[in-house]
Chain A
Amino acid sequence: MANKRSSSFGEFLDQIAKTYNVEDSLAIGRIKGQVASQLMSYRKERGLSQKQLGELLGFKQPYVSNIERGEENLSLETLVKISACLKGRLNVDLGITDRKTKITKEVIKYVPIYIPVISVQNNESSFCWKPSEAA
């Protein structure tokens, strides 16, 4: 599940996570990092304290502190609140690249397949792509 990294350290973590079957933990840690980073930037830009940000979000200061330290397992409700506070600018990469093959197999039948069609009329040929009947 972990989002594959191109950096050497990222690849090292990916490999360890795979070996010990804790890829989800690594992905969750990375998601926490993305949220914490964006929340801290937002707070810094506006010169807000954790308490003030907590008041905007409807959280207590220790909860904001825990989010920024990556020690809180964030619920969808919390993510939605944070996203609303950041005016929808919360970007989180859930790291689902490893599931690409599975998704492709599942959705492939719904994806139109285009086939090349060459037609000849009056000694002139034309070429176009048309959806196949299987699609």
Chain B
Amino acid sequence: MRIIRSESFNSEFLDFLDKHNNRVAPVMDKLGFFEEVLERDGPIGVRKSGLLEKLHGTSINSITLIRKGLNVRCLCFFPSDGIEEVCVLLMVFIEKSSADYDKAVRQAEILADKWLSDNKGFKVRKG
């Protein structure tokens, strides 16, 4: 499965690494794990591992990159054009409260809609 980085993910991720360079190692460990399991088993495999959590009522999924000390999450979704399903990384954020989380999910939904309008032919199942 192809993993695609959105522009917002790119800038937020690089910004996060710059500001929290002592957290780069655990994040890379987690992303290496995510990449490997996703390529081998698809989103179902990563969900089974517990790393990926589907957010009910939305098309957005959350990857927990760091849990201890700093709660860092990456939001993504899995659109398909009927031929291939891709994983689009939408954004990275630090969750300090549930309000941060709700706000990030709303923003991720907007980013997902924008990605879909920029990439005709791709659709995602809501639910």
Determine if A12 is an interface residue (Cβ-Cβ < 8 Å).
yes
Give the Cβ gap from A71 to chain B, nearest Cβ, in Å: 9
Determine if A49 is an interface residue (Cβ-Cβ < 8 Å).
no
- Could you say which residues of chain B place their CB within 8 Å of the CB of A30? 32-33, 35-36
| Number of A residues, CB within 8 Å of B | 29
Determine if A9 is an interface residue (Cβ-Cβ < 8 Å).
yes
* Residue of A8, A13, A17, A25 ringed by the most chain B CB atoms within 10 A: A25
CA A129 to CA B49, docked complex, whole Å: 53
Partner of B32, one of A25, A40, A68, A69: A25
A26 with B28, Cβ < 8 A, contacts A41-B41, A70-B49 known: yes
A7-62 contacts to B, CB under 8 A, are 7-10, 12-13, 16-17, 20, 22, 25-30, 32-34, 36-37, 40-41
CA A68 to CA B49, docked complex, whole Å: 5
A17 with B28, Cβ < 8 A, contacts A36-B49, A40-B41, A65-B50 known: yes
A70 with B35, Cβ < 8 A, contacts A16-B17, A20-B17, A40-B49 known: no
CA A71 to CA B21, docked complex, whole Å: 20
Q: Which secondary structure characterizes the binding site on chain B?
A: helix
- Could you say which residues of chain A place their CB within 8 Å of the CB of B17? 16, 20
- Could you say which residues of chain A place their CB within 8 Å of the CB of B30? 29, 70
Partner of B50, one of A12, A17, A41, A69: A69
What are 19 contact pairs spanning A and B, CB under 8 A?
A: A9-B2, A9-B4, A9-B35, A13-B28, A13-B35, A16-B28, A20-B17, A22-B24, A25-B25, A26-B32, A30-B35, A32-B29, A33-B33, A33-B35, A36-B49, A40-B45, A40-B49, A69-B49, A69-B50
Query: Given known contacts A20-B28, A25-B25, A70-B29, what 8 new A-B pairs fall within 8 Å (CB)?
Result: A8-B2, A22-B24, A25-B26, A29-B33, A33-B32, A40-B48, A65-B50, A70-B51
